[in-house]
Amino acid sequence: MRPLPHPAMLEEELEMQRAEIRTLLADNRRLVEYRMMLQLEVGAAKEEIHRMNVGFSDIRAEEEMQSRELYEVQKLTSVRKELTTKVQTLTQDLARLQSDNGPASLTSDRL
């Protein structure tokens, strides 16, 4: 059989265990506080990300609207050029017809 340890040694070992428990409790409290702080920071970061996403959505919507407007302007510019060309052609045709029919139309008016 083994002899029992001396009560003073048991008391010293018990005190060392208590000191270790106090250290662990203090560490645990610090870790809990740190975790809470990190959770607050994560929450704030999530809110910031949400605000940024809303801002990005607004920017995308604005870009899409501007793209549609630009497309419409380009389309109208193309139509305008086409119509300008047609008007010029018709004006030239009218001038040619007037010059071709000028004296003849005066003669037909007299008849």
Q: Please give the pLDDT value at position 101.
A: 83
pLDDT band at 65 (very low <50, low <70, confident <90, very high): very high
First to last CA, the chain: 154
Euclidean distance between CA atoms 84 and 92, whole angstroms? 12
Q: What is the pLDDT of residues 17-44, one digit of tens each?
A: 999 999 999 999 999 999 999 999 999 9
Hunting for tokens 């990005």 — which residue is that? 56
Domain residue spans in the chain?
9-69
pLDDT at 72 (0 to 100): 98
Tokens representing 2? 């083994």
The 3-state secondary structure of the chain reads CCCCCCHHHHHHHHHHHHHHHHHHHHHHHHHHHHHHHHHHHHHHHHHHHHHHHHHHHHHHHHHHHHHHHHHHHHHHHHHHHHHHHHHHHHHHHHHHHHHHHHHHHHHHHHC
Q: Please write the tens of the pLDDT for every residue from 41-56.
A: 999 999 999 999 999 9
Is pTM beyond 0.75? Reply is no
